[in-house]
């Protein structure tokens, strides 16, 4: 290529990438810069800075998809400029979303005939789907109350304290009280009997979580349905159930087809699932499904007519990208039931292998249950010398992102680590993670106890300073060894 330099570009294009003045200057952070820069420079600056982000594939903290097939990546790139809301202009995309809704409704046993349209819509994620489902329950309750000439001021939702933060957002944004069923040590999901004890005349729904964020465990929706039916019969109430199946909605149908947790249970009126978790699509898609038309109050729906047919719209935002919807449809037809089942069985097998490897170290107690999402949650048997937070930090130096956290109130003495197994987490990576975990534990075990020595120092005990020096040397050496051995 011949570069022709003009006065206007003052020779910029002749500089090597990293010698150009754009790359040498400090980056604009707060104020928009005055002048333009060449596109290559903008690209270079930003992609360099992004190198410091973690590697998504090693991010074991997240349920959200980090890998898709290159053919699907192509479809996504090709539809980046399509606004999903323009249903007139992109009727095919709209049609694909409707097909997805119907496929999911059938998967979740919605009581609809083969040719009948399912009730539901694509959202940005489970959070938006939950806002919509919660609003539908609230509106339904208020309508009934108004008809009875009674107060509509104090609606509540009964839910386990293992709830995901989006429920707290719903409660605050839409003024609904959350009545949390407390967890106890040893049981980290909602107890259906306790939940049913807590419902009252103002309860708009009970939420059951299929795939607890904390441990991946499935709650017993079937028992909840039974106990709540009994309560409704005794009291004359008609309190419904919503299932937050953000992760479990795309696991249970394939791995536990016999497990009744979905629309097979009569009180389950709505369900949310995250397309971007085990629906196997990149972030930006979720699904809200209702049992039937009667469960979605008409006044919440806005009707858009396109090509002679009625397109109901019930979403919080207007414009959004179409790519994720198209990608969801790709996964459905590319994988089919068989493909999803294979991928999930593989995830479960890898979770089992990881669980065994972690248990074999002899240092950890496994908190996640066999039945649930492919998640391994584990706590330290003995955390007097080092904690799960030290382990999380230690693993980070090998490149792994494994979060450490404490359980919610009433079980907050329990601190744990959690690994989420996704499609792209192979057996080889699982084995490597176990060996790095063992290495981190061995290093921490050999280290002089940080907490114990801090206590010595604080108490002014003899030998405290020498011990502190010894510790400092240990950590310095460790850091040096890591730096020189590199990260694999």
Ligand X SMILES: *Cc1c(COP(=O)(O)O)cnc(C)c1O
The owner of tokens 């429920």 is 167
246 part of the interface to ligand X, by CB under 6 A = yes
Q: Shortest Cβ distance from residue 136 to ligand X (Å)?
A: 17
Choices 193-201, 207-215, 416-424, 469-477 (CB under 6 A): range interacting with ligand X: 207-215
Q: Shortest Cβ distance from residue 402 to ligand X (Å)?
A: 17
120 part of the interface to ligand X, by CB under 6 A = no
The nearer residue to ligand X, 286 or 374, going by C-beta atoms, is 286
Q: Shortest Cβ distance from residue 125 to ligand X (Å)?
A: 3
203 part of the interface to ligand X, by CB under 6 A = no
Binding string, residues 155-194; x marks residues near ligand X by CB under 6 A: ---------x-x----------------------------
Q: Output 167-174 pairs: Cβ under 8 A, ≥24 positions apart.
A: 167/130, 167/207, 167/244, 169/127, 169/131, 170/130, 170/131, 170/134, 173/131, 174/131, 174/134, 174/135, 174/138
In angstroms, the CA 340 to CA 423 distance is 10
126 part of the interface to ligand X, by CB under 6 A = yes
Q: What is the CA radius of gyration of the chain?
A: 27
219 part of the interface to ligand X, by CB under 6 A = no
Residue pair 272/245 in contact (Cβ under 8 Å)? The answer is yes
315 part of the interface to ligand X, by CB under 6 A = no
Given candidates 203, 247, 331, 392, which one binds ligand X under the rule CB under 6 A? 247
Q: Shortest Cβ distance from residue 286 to ligand X (Å)?
A: 5
With contacts defined by CB under 6 A, how many residues of the chain interact with ligand X? 14
Q: Give ∠ CA 172-174-180 in degrees, rounded to 5.
A: 50
Q: Are strands 241-244 and 268-274 parallel, antiparallel or unpaired?
A: parallel
297 part of the interface to ligand X, by CB under 6 A = no
The DSSP bridge partners found for residue 415 are: 406
Choices 31-39, 242-250, 416-424, 472-480 (CB under 6 A): range interacting with ligand X: 242-250
274 part of the interface to ligand X, by CB under 6 A = yes
Q: Output 153-156 pairs: Cβ under 8 A, ≥24 positions apart.
A: 154/202, 155/202, 155/203, 155/204, 156/200, 156/202, 156/203, 156/204
The nearer residue to ligand X, 207 or 440, going by C-beta atoms, is 207
The footprint of ligand X on residues 54-83 (CB under 6 A) is 63
Q: Shortest Cβ distance from residue 427 to ligand X (Å)?
A: 25
In angstroms, the CA 190 to CA 244 distance is 13
Q: Are strands 302-306 and 375-380 parallel, antiparallel or unpaired?
A: unpaired
Q: Shortest Cβ distance from residue 288 to ligand X (Å)?
A: 11
The nearer residue to ligand X, 363 or 418, going by C-beta atoms, is 418
Burial class (CB in 10 A: 0-12, 13-18, 19+), 208: buried
In angstroms, the CA 365 to CA 379 distance is 5
Choices 184-192, 205-213, 229-237, 477-485 (CB under 6 A): range interacting with ligand X: 205-213
Q: Shortest Cβ distance from residue 284 to ligand X (Å)?
A: 9
In angstroms, the CA 397 to CA 481 distance is 11
Residue pair 261/210 in contact (Cβ under 8 Å)? The answer is yes
The nearer residue to ligand X, 123 or 225, going by C-beta atoms, is 123
323 part of the interface to ligand X, by CB under 6 A = no
Choices 81-89, 119-127, 406-414, 474-482 (CB under 6 A): range interacting with ligand X: 119-127
The owner of tokens 């009994």 is 230
The nearer residue to ligand X, 127 or 350, going by C-beta atoms, is 127
Residue pair 103/287 in contact (Cβ under 8 Å)? The answer is no
> Under the rule (CB under 6 A), what is the footprint of ligand X?
63, 125-127, 164, 166, 209, 211, 213, 244, 246-247, 274, 286
């Amino acid at each position: 290529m011949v570069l022709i330099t003009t006065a206007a570009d003052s020779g910029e294009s002749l500089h090597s990438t990293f010698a150009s003045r754009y790359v040498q200057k400090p980056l604009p952070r707060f104020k928009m810069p005055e002048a333009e820069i060449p596109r290559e420079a903008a690209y270079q600056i930003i992609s360099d800075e992004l190198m410091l982000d973690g590697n998504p594939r090693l991010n074991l903290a997240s349920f959200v998809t980090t890998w898709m097939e290159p053919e699907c990546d192509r479809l996504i790139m090709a539809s980046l400029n399509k606004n999903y809301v323009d249903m007139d202009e992109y009727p095919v995309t709209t049609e694909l979303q409707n097909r997805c809704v119907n496929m999911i409704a059938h998967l979740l046993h919605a009581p609809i005939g083969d040719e009948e349209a399912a009730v539901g819509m694509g959202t940005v994620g489970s959070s938006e789907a939950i806002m919509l489902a919660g609003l539908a329950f609230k509106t339904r309750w208020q309508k009934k109350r108004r008809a009875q000439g009674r107060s509509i001021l104090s609606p509540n939702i009964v839910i386990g304290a293992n709830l995901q933060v989006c429920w707290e957002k719903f409660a605050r944004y839409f003024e609904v009280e959350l009545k949390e069923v407390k967890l106890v040590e040893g049981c980290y999901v909602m107890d259906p009997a306790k939940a049913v004890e807590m419902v009252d005349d103002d309860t708009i729904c009970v939420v059951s979580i299929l795939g607890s964020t904390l441990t991946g465990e499935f709650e017993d929706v079937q028992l909840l349905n039974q106990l709540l039916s009994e309560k409704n019969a005794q009291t004359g109430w008609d309190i419904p159930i919503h299932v937050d199946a953000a992760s479990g909605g795309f696991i249970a149908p394939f791995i536990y087809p016999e497990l009744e947790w979905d629309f097979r249970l009569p009180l389950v009126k709505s369900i949310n699932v995250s397309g971007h978790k085990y629906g196997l699509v990149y972030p930006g898609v979720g699904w809200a499904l209702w049992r039937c038309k009667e469960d979605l109050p008409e006044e919440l729906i806005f009707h858009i007519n396109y090509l002679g047919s009625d397109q109901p719209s019930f979403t919080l935002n207007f414009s959004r990208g179409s790519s994720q919807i198209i990608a969801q449809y790709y996964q459905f037809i590319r994988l089919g039931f068989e493909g999803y089942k294979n991928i999930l069985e593989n995830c479960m097998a890898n979770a089992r292998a990881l669980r065994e490897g972690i248990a074999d170290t002899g240092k950890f107690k496994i908190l996640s249950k066999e039945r649930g999402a492919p998640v391994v949650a584990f706590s330290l048997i003995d955390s007097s010398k080092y904690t799960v937070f030290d382990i999380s930090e230690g693993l980070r130096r090998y490149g792994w992102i494994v979060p450490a956290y404490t359980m919610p109130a009433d079980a907050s003495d329990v601190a744990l680590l959690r690994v989420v197994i996704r499609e792209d987490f192979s057996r080889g990576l699982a084995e490597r993670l176990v060996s790095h975990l063992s290495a981190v534990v061995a290093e921490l075990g050999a280290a002089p106890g940080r907490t114990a020595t801090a206590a010595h120092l604080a108490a002014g005990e003899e030998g405290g300073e020498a011990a502190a020096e010894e510790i400092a040397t240990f950590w310095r050496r460790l850091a040096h060894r890591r730096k020189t051995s590199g990260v694999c």
